[in-house]
A and B are shown apart, each in its own frame.
Chain A
């Protein structure tokens, strides 16, 4: 099925460890996004990539880096994880054919201890 695939689904990290969250879409969408979801705060944009080769900061970029590896893939890296980064992370993609409505991945539940 076409869609957005995120890996891993669950992860527990120790403070200071690093990890990369992977995201891939097969809908030929130009734009991709990383959000985090925290209780009572909705979804907050971390980084986005309007097109292949470009990335930009969102609302809460501190502590994160991203790479738009190609049109399909957009990864999110935590260089030195902190307990404040405990959250559920969602990747999404969009394109002009859907008037930029998003297709979301199933999420990564990250716990930093």
Chain B
């Protein structure tokens, strides 16, 4: 069965420091992988995706993520965190073979960036 794990409920970072939000996945085939961000009382917004090709994917707002097939991971990173990055982050996976394009989401990681 497909699954996504975000092992940290919360990540705390000082502004200007690098940040990492972790994600590991389990699918039967090659995955599509996604990161979404949710600001308070808002819907989810797309950040970036890995479909194929370069393992380092760049996305919105200076975020990037590295696909590691051997470790089945897709960690979200940013070289220098901003207070405005504070939000809830979701990793999601889709098995390329599944019908209907369903995404399976992780439980979310609350990122808090302090000045």
Which residues of A pack against B, CB within 8 Å?
A: 31, 33, 35, 40-45, 48-50, 56, 58, 90, 92, 94, 99-107
Contacts and interface: CB of A to CB of B under 8 A. Distances in A.
Interface string B34-54: 101000001111100101000
Given A42-B90, A107-B43, A48 B100 contact: yes
Given A90-B44, A104-B43, A104-B44, A43 B102 contact: no
A113 to B, nearest CB: 20
Contacts of B32: 99-101
B1 to A, nearest CB: 11
| Residues of B in contact with A, size category | 20 to 34
Interface of B: 9, 32, 34, 36, 42-46, 49, 51, 90, 92, 94, 99-108
6 contacts: A43-B44, A50-B100, A58-B102, A101-B34, A101-B49, A105-B43
Given A48-B100, A94-B101, A99-B32, 18 more contacts: A31-B101, A33-B102, A42-B107, A43-B44, A43-B90, A50-B100, A56-B99, A92-B44, A94-B103, A99-B49, A100-B94, A101-B32, A101-B34, A101-B46, A101-B49, A103-B46, A106-B42, A106-B43
